Every structure is written in structure tokens, then in C-alpha cells.
């Protein structure tokens, strides 16, 4: 009997141990979180004050379809999931399509411009309230009146479909001869404001299909952006202001969406799709995967992957904006505003060669006194050229509140111009003969905004000198 009790006790202990191990294993399995795309998105304030246009591609009757997968339907589903995640993180989200019904591209874009111009009008009105210069106030009021007129132009496009091809390159001109309408160009110029560059983003959501529908093997994720070198737009418009930011967002989307969906990463590419071409906002178009490919399609239809993919998009937006300081507005603490220039760290970016001090200061709206100093610390007269290495100072009385070093586009030798000497300096840099050392001079040479000096920069400057292109 003693042996039986001993055996029974051992059995019960073993059973309890097994039960505990099993329960622990179940608990671990239940509470284990996968990678970052399965986990809740960490709260961050980086999206507060940011505006994201979320564009669900196509609509009923448009877009691709394969084996029961309707692209337009799923684009909207993904857009709604992304909207909810971005709003939870504090972003303002503007949907270009909110129902299954198709919304024409020109209709979406007219609304984008009306919305953006209204934000800019509000900002200009706020600036008027805090500055004393009556001449500057008059200029701002004139700009507000002009933006109101341009909003009216976009409203006529909404009211009359026949005007779509007047103001937009739609239907698309495959001869590539169309030039941008003067009113749309004015809108683009207003959209160069730092409020747009720093605070706004446009994401267009699509899934892909091959040119040959019977080719079901092609697969993977690709993201698109538009740059000023794209051959199809050389007659249309080549001064898009946010190419560097658009490329960065496209790369983030391609990398994160392909990782989250376990898709083949096909990388990024340049194209002038309507949703990238007809505005001047930072923008990327994501082709999540191929709905024509059985494996890709199965994941696109799976709620598990839908959550992961939209988390990847939201994380892309967070990482994108993390390195971009929020434009808070001159009325909310910033000392100056400019359509032409923007601050990046301690640098004042966007100054063109052959810019005089008077022109530089005339394109800056400020609540402070402004002056430009040369590298030796002397105040420069209004008639002098701004050169790479000059410093913009913002003052209150004798106190310098802020100062920014100025890299002038293409001006590597600090003479205020972009010339042959600068071309030779870039060439020597590329051939490792002589390095361009000063940070502001390297930025001046980095004409494509890639963060490094390369062959593209050499070619851009060469085209500029030959009168075949701009430095934008």
C-alpha cells in the first residue's frame, strides 16, 4: 500500500508539473507578439499637426480585378484601415474617396488644391495679425485674394467636367507636349510653402496587375514618386518642390509594406501618374502587391495581412515625419515664414544662385529684424550677392534670436553664382582628386538633395550652364 501511495504521489506531482508547463506554454503562446507589424503602434506625437491625404485608387468600375479580387474595393478597405491608424496617432486625414463610387482623378485633385490653399490663406491671415509692416501686409492680402481666385478656378473644375482637360493633363498627352496651365502653376508655387512641405503628405494606395493579364507569376511591392528629371514631364513642369521627401516616403513604403506582407520588394521607381503629377505636395504611390499573383492576392485578401500592411504604411508615415520639424506657423512661435526658402537644421535651404541680399530678405516674412552677414561677420549690403557660407540672422533689438547658414544652389566656391568653377569642383570631388569639405558647400553641390554628391549633381549643373535645365 505504501508503494502505491508513493507511486500515486509521484504521479500527481508529475501531473501538476506537466499541467503547469502546459499552462505556461499556452500563456506564452497567447501573449507572444510577433514583429512590429503585429504589435500595436507605439504612441508618438510626431503626427500631431500633420495632414495626410489618403487616396484609395480607382472606384467602382475602374481599376484591376482578378479571381474575385476587386482592386477598387480593397484599395478603399486599406485606406480606411490606414486612416483609422493615422488618426489614432494624431494626424488629420483627408480621404480623396470615401465610398465605393468612383471619384475622377481631376475631382480628387481639385479638392486637394482647394483644401491646401485654404490652409495657406489661414496662415497668411495669421501672419497679418502679428506683423507691423504695412507693405508686407498688403502683399499678403493680395496673395490671399489670389488664392481665393484659384480656389474658385478649382471649383469650376468640380462643377464642369469639360474643364478637366483645361487645367490638368487629362486625358494624358502621350506626345508629352502639354504644358502646365498658368493657374495650376500658380497653385504649385503657393504649395512650395513650408507648411505644405513640412506638414503635409499624399499617399495613393493601389494593387498591381501586369500588362499581360495571363502573366500570373509577376509579384511584389513597388512604390512610385516623381522627380524633375523624368522624361515625360520635361515640357509640362520640372520644378516639383519635394522630390527628396517624395523619394524618401516611397522607399519607406516599399521597404515596410513588402516586409509586412512578406512580398517581393521590387523597390522604388519614378513615374508621372496623375496623383503624383498634378500637385506639388510630398507624395508617393504604393502598389502593395500583384492581385494577379495567387500568393500576393491571398495575402491582400487576408485580414491578418491587411492589418500588417496598413500598420507598415502608418509606421512609414511616422518615420517619414520624425526627421521633419513641424511647421508651427509664424503666429504660433516661429520667427519667420517663406514660400521660397525652408530651414533644415541650421541651414536656410532653397537659395538660388545670383540672389541679392535684397531679394533674399524680400522673400522672407518675419516678426523680427533680418540681416545677412558674410563669413567674416560683416553685415552685407542689400546690393551684394548672397554666397554660400553667408549667414541669415533674426534679431530682436541687438539680440540674435536665430541664425542660419546659407548654401546657395550650385555655388561650391562661394561666389554667389553657379558656374564652370563649381562644375570642376564637383568633378574633382567625384574623381577623388579634391574633396569639397565645408558642410554648406557640400549641400550647395548636392543639387538633387540625395545627401551625397554624385553624377546626377554634375549633370544638373552642366544642363544649367548649357541652358537646358534648372537647378531645382
Give pLDDT, residue 67.
78
pLDDT digits (tens, 9 = 90+) for 152-185: 999 999 999 999 999 999 999 999 999 999 999 9
User: Do 472 and 238 meet the contact criterion of CB atoms below 8 Å apart?
Assistant: yes
Pairwise CA distance, residues 236 & 192, whole Å? 17
Q: Scan for cell 488629420, then name that residue.
A: 92
Region 431-458 average pLDDT: 93
Task: Give me the domains of the chain, ranges plus CATH numbers.
Answer: 51-322 (3.40.630.40), 338-472 (1.10.1330.10)
Evaluate if residue 8 carries a pLDDT over 70: no
The C-alpha R_g of the chain, in whole angstroms, comes to: 27
Region 224-246 average pLDDT: 96
Q: Where are the beta strands (DSSP E) in 193-292?
A: 200-208, 221-225, 265-270, 283-290
Confidence of residue 340 (pLDDT cuts 50, 70, 90): confident
Evaluate if residue 240 carries a pLDDT over 60: yes
User: Do 270 and 227 meet the contact criterion of CB atoms below 8 Å apart?
Assistant: yes
Confidence of residue 129 (pLDDT cuts 50, 70, 90): confident
| 3-state SS assignment for residue 69 | strand
Higher pLDDT, 287 or 344: 287
Sign of CA dihedral 121, 123, 125, 131: negative
Q: Which of 157-171, 249-263, 325-339, 349-363 shows the lowest mean pLDDT across its residues?
A: 325-339
Pairwise CA distance, residues 177 & 235, whole Å? 6
| 3-state SS assignment for residue 320 | helix
Q: How many CB atoms lie within 10 A of CB 133?
A: 12
| 3-state SS assignment for residue 270 | strand
Give pLDDT, residue 338.
77
Confidence of residue 147 (pLDDT cuts 50, 70, 90): very high
pLDDT digits (tens, 9 = 90+) for 9-23: 444 334 334 344 343
Confidence of residue 362 (pLDDT cuts 50, 70, 90): confident
User: Comparing C-alpha atoms, which of 289, 302, 297 is closest to residue 221?
Assistant: 289
Sign of CA dihedral 104, 107, 111, 114: positive
What end-to-end distance do the CA atoms of the chain give, in Å? Answer: 95
Evaluate if residue 7 carries a pLDDT over 80: no
Evaluate if residue 303 carries a pLDDT over 90: yes
H helix intervals, 65-208: 71-88, 105-130, 134-159, 164-167, 182-190, 194-199
Q: Residues near 392 by Cβ (< 8 Å), separated by ≥ 6?
A: 348, 360, 364, 370, 371, 372, 403, 404, 406
Give pLDDT, residue 17.
41
Torsion of CA 33, 36, 37, 42, to 10 degrees: 100
Give residue 426's Cα distance to chain centre. Answer: 28
- The packing angle between helices 243-261 and 303-322, to 10°, is 150
Amino acid at each position: 500500500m505504501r508503494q502505491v501511495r508513493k507511486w500515486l504521489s509521484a504521479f500527481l506531482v508529475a501531473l501538476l508539473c506537466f499541467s503547469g508547463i502546459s499552462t505556461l506554454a499556452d500563456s506564452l503562446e497567447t501573449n507572444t507578439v510577433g514583429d512590429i507589424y503585429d504589435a500595436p503602434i507605439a504612441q508618438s506625437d510626431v503626427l500631431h499637426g500633420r495632414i495626410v491625404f489618403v487616396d484609395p485608387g480607382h472606384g467602382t468600375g475602374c481599376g484591376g480585378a482578378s479571381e474575385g479580387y476587386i482592386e477598387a474595393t480593397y484599395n478603399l478597405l486599406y485606406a480606411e484601415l490606414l486612416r483609422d491608424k493615422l488618426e489614432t496617432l494624431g494626424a488629420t486625414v483627408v480621404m480623396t474617396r470615401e465610398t465605393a463610387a468612383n471619384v475622377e482623378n481631376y475631382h480628387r485633385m481639385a479638392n486637394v488644391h482647394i483644401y491646401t490653399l485654404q490652409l495657406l490663406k489661414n496662415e497668411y491671415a495669421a501672419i497679418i495679425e502679428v506683423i507691423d509692416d504695412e507693405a508686407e501686409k498688403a502683399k499678403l492680402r493680395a496673395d490671399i485674394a489670389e488664392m481665393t481666385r484659384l480656389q474658385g478656378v478649382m471649383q469650376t473644375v468640380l462643377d464642369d467636367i469639360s474643364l478637366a482637360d483645361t487645367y490638368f493633363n487629362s486625358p494624358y498627352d502621350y506626345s508629352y507636349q502639354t504644358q502646365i496651365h498658368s493657374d495650376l502653376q500658380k497653385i504649385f508655387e503657393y504649395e512650395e510653402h513650408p507648411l505644405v512641405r513640412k506638414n503635409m503628405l499624399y499617399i495613393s494606395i493601389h494593387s498591381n496587375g501586369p500588362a499581360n493579364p495571363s502573366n500570373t507569376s509577376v509579384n511584389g511591392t513597388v512604390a512610385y514618386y516623381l522627380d524633375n528629371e523624368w522624361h515625360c514631364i520635361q515640357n509640362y513642369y520640372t520644378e516639383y518642390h519635394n522630390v527628396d521627401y517624395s523619394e524618401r516616403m516611397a522607399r519607406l513604403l516599399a521597404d515596410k509594406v513588402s516586409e509586412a506582407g512578406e512580398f517581393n520588394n521590387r523597390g522604388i521607381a519614378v513615374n508621372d501618374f496623375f496623383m503624383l503629377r498634378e500637385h506639388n505636395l510630398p507624395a508617393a504611390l504604393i502598389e502593395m502587391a500583384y492581385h494577379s499573383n495567387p500568393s500576393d492576392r491571398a495575402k491582400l485578401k487576408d485580414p491578418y495581412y491587411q492589418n500588417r500592411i496598413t500598420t507598415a504604411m502608418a509606421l512609414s508615415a511616422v518615420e517619414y515625419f520624425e526627421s521633419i520639424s513641424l511647421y508651427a506657423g509664424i503666429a504660433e512661435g516661429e520667427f519667420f515664414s517663406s514660400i521660397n526658402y525652408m530651414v533644415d537644421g541650421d541651414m536656410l535651404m532653397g537659395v538660388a544662385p545670383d540672389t541679392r541680399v535684397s531679394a533674399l530678405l524680400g522673400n522672407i516674412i518675419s516678426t523680427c529684424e533680418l540681416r545677412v552677414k558674410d563669413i567674416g561677420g560683416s553685415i552685407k549690403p542689400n546690393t551684394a550677392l548672397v554666397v554660400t557660407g553667408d549667414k541669415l540672422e533674426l534679431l530682436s533689438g541687438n539680440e540674435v534670436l536665430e541664425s542660419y547658414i546659407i548654401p546657395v544652389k550650385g555655388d561650391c566656391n562661394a561666389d554667389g553664382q553657379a558656374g564652370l568653377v563649381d562644375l570642376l569642383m564637383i568633378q574633382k570631388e567625384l574623381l577623388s582628386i579634391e574633396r569639397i569639405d565645408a558642410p554648406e558647400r557640400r549641400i550647395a553641390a548636392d543639387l538633387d538633395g540625395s545627401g551625397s554628391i554624385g553624377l546626377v549633381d554634375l549633370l544638373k549643373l552642366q544642363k544649367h550652364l548649357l541652358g537646358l535645365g534648372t537647378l531645382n
